[in-house]
Amino acid sequence: MTPKIKVLILGGGYAGVTAATGLRAACRRHGRLSITLVNKHNYHYFTTLLHQCVGRRGYQDISVDLPSLLQPEINFRQGQAVALTPNENQVEIESEGTRHTLDYDYLVLALGWEPQFYNISGLEQHALVLKNLNMARIIKNRIEEQMALASEHPAETWRTQIIVGGGGFTGVEVAGELADWCPRLIDRYDLKSIGITLIEGAPAILPGFDGLLVKDATCLLQQKQINLITGARIERVEERCVALADGRRLEAGVIIWTGGVRGHPLVEASGFTVNKQGRAEVNSYLQSVDSPNVYVIGDCCLAKDADGKALPPTAQIAFQQGKSVAQNLQRVLTGKAPVPFTPKVLGTFLTLGRKDALGVMQNKYRFSGWTAKMMKHFIAYRYLWGIGGLGLPLRKFWERR
Ligand SMILES: Cc1cc2nc3c(=O)[nH]c(=O)nc-3n(C[C@H](O)[C@H](O)[C@H](O)COP(=O)(O)OP(=O)(O)OC[C@H]3O[C@@H](n4cnc5c(N)ncnc54)[C@H](O)[C@@H]3O)c2cc1C
């Protein structure tokens, strides 16, 4: 019997899930193809909506069960990849305290990102990072706990202060969401007020975003009573204090860090050529420059646009890369030449709480308010359609009601 061709996908985020679901049809057509996706959790969560779970939304709303999404065509293994040996085409997986070795003919590395702490003293120890669904739960619980303690000890006003470090997309979305949640917390815990401070090192929030929309976002955050500190570098973080390089010290009960991401550490540790942010170098087909049977996609990949500029780590790029790898693997397996990956930056949308949103399409069409909010919903539902067919967005929409 001819042996099966094994494709192993590590990571069930936007990139890994899109690659896996894109190979579903190929799996049905070619009986010789065996595809396995390994992910730390047994669900796939929509990172682009994670900030909403810190405030208003339920965790179920933004996740989908991986076995039922992928099976029967794709095998699913819950576990954590702990070691890679590209020379031997092997990956070591840890699951419920036991280690297993999986081998592959083609590997798709889609392990995503880890926070970047830039050697800021105390940051990793004392700040919370909105990295996954469990961290959203932890942040929400920590805020509730501090507010309950502040209600118990009214003199400890620092407990009612929340600091968000990093004024990029994630930081702005988190701060906006928290501002909308605060009135309910104030009521629930009978507090006088809750303070939110957003700190950004660059001269303005949302570095690199459309200038007019940056102004709009700044106004919206100020209307929400968020204290914006820009052009200020965080020098040190202590248990309940953030020290800025200009000498200011800000006390807080909860410190959240959203200031930077780097590629998953396993990529660098496995000997792949990476840049300073730990993102692996790939060719135009998204194959690792070190091992052609390893594709690297999503936030752990350093792909470039036509001008040679590194692509930003975003869900839309991760999704497009997943699709491209699925198409190219099918082409390679049927003896056709692969097609280079061509990224399309369609648009960027962000929400600032329940009602406010902003965004830009094709770098020229600006949106705000209800239209921008609808666009963000549309992008999320279109993604669900892409990975699970029409039934998935309909089910998710129904569950939300
Ligand atoms: C709050 C927030 C808001 C965002 N908003 C937007 C937005 O509006 N638009 C946009 O385009 N981008 C947005 N982003 C960025 C976007 O979410 C990421 O670029 C995207 O998630 C990257 O996809 P990925 O598949 O590479 O990684 P991920 O989605 O992070 O997936 C990686 C997967 O690998 C799993 N994993 C990790 N380590 C292991 C291991 N050792 N073994 C097995 N599995 C493992 C993880 O559990 C996870 O499921 C946002 C990010 C955040 C945090």
Write out pLDDT tens, residues 173-206: 999 999 999 999 999 999 999 999 999 999 999 9
pLDDT of 4 > 80? The answer is yes
* pLDDT digit string, tens, across residues 158-171: 999 999 999 999 99
The pLDDT score that the predictor gives to residue 397 is 81
Q: Are residues 102 and 37 in the same domain?
A: yes
Q: Is 359 in the pocket of ligand 1 (CB under 6 A)?
A: no
Atom number in ligand 1 closest to CA 316: 11
Q: Are residues 163 and 215 in the same domain?
A: yes
Q: Are residues 401 and 329 in the same domain?
A: no
Q: Are residues 320 and 367 in the same domain?
A: no
Q: Both ends of the chain: CA-CA distance in Å? A: 51
Owning domain of residue 22 = 5-115+261-344
Q: Are residues 45 and 150 in the same domain?
A: no
* pLDDT digit string, tens, across residues 313-338: 999 999 999 999 999 999 998 899 99
Out of 225, 257, 289, a domain closes at 257
Q: Is 377 in the pocket of ligand 1 (CB under 6 A)?
A: no
CATH code, 240: 3.50.50.60
Reported as a pLDDT band with limits 50, 70 and 90, residue 280 is very high
Once rounded to an integer, what is the mean pLDDT over residues 6-12?
Answer: 98
How many angstroms separate the alpha carbon of residue 44 from the centre of ligand 1? 10
The pLDDT score that the predictor gives to residue 247 is 96
pLDDT of 39 > 70? The answer is yes
Q: Are residues 353 and 289 in the same domain?
A: no
Q: Is 324 in the pocket of ligand 1 (CB under 6 A)?
A: no
Q: Is 63 in the pocket of ligand 1 (CB under 6 A)?
A: no
> Considering the chain, what is the average pLDDT of its residues?
94
pLDDT of 56 > 80? The answer is no
Q: Which residues are catalytic?
A: 173
Q: Are residues 238 and 249 in the same domain?
A: yes
Contact status, residue 131 vs residue 53, Cβ threshold 8 Å: no
Out of 257, 277, 306, a domain closes at 257
Nearest Cα residue to 79 out of 9, 159, 142, 182: 9
Nearest 5°: CA angle at 65, between 61 and 68? 135
Out of 322, 344, 366, a domain closes at 344
pLDDT of 401 > 70? The answer is no
Atom number in ligand 1 closest to CA 11: 34
CATH code, 70: 3.50.50.100
pLDDT of 346 > 90? The answer is no
- How many structural domains are present in the chain? 3
Atom number in ligand 1 closest to CA 82: 41
Q: Are residues 133 and 109 in the same domain?
A: no
Q: Are residues 131 and 234 in the same domain?
A: yes
Once rounded to an integer, what is the mean pLDDT over residues 83-107?
Answer: 96
How many angstroms separate the alpha carbon of residue 289 from the centre of ligand 1? 23
> Sign of the CA dihedral 371, 374, 376, 381?
negative
Q: Are residues 281 and 230 in the same domain?
A: no
pLDDT of 58 > 80? The answer is no
Q: Are residues 128 and 236 in the same domain?
A: yes
Q: Are residues 378 and 336 in the same domain?
A: no
3-state helix, strand, coil in the chain (%, to 5): 40, 30, 35
Percent of the chain whose predicted confidence (pLDDT) is above 90:
85
pLDDT of 93 > 80? The answer is yes
Beta strands in 73-231 (DSSP E): 75-78, 80-85, 90-95, 98-103, 106-109, 113-115, 128-129, 161-165, 195-200, 227-230
Reported as a pLDDT band with limits 50, 70 and 90, residue 66 is very high
pLDDT of 31 > 90? The answer is no
pLDDT of 1 > 70? The answer is no
Please state, in angstroms and rounded to a whole number, the distance separating the CA atoms of residues 344 and 315.
Answer: 12
Percent of the chain whose predicted confidence (pLDDT) is above 70:
99
pLDDT of 151 > 70? The answer is yes
Q: Is 298 in the pocket of ligand 1 (CB under 6 A)?
A: yes
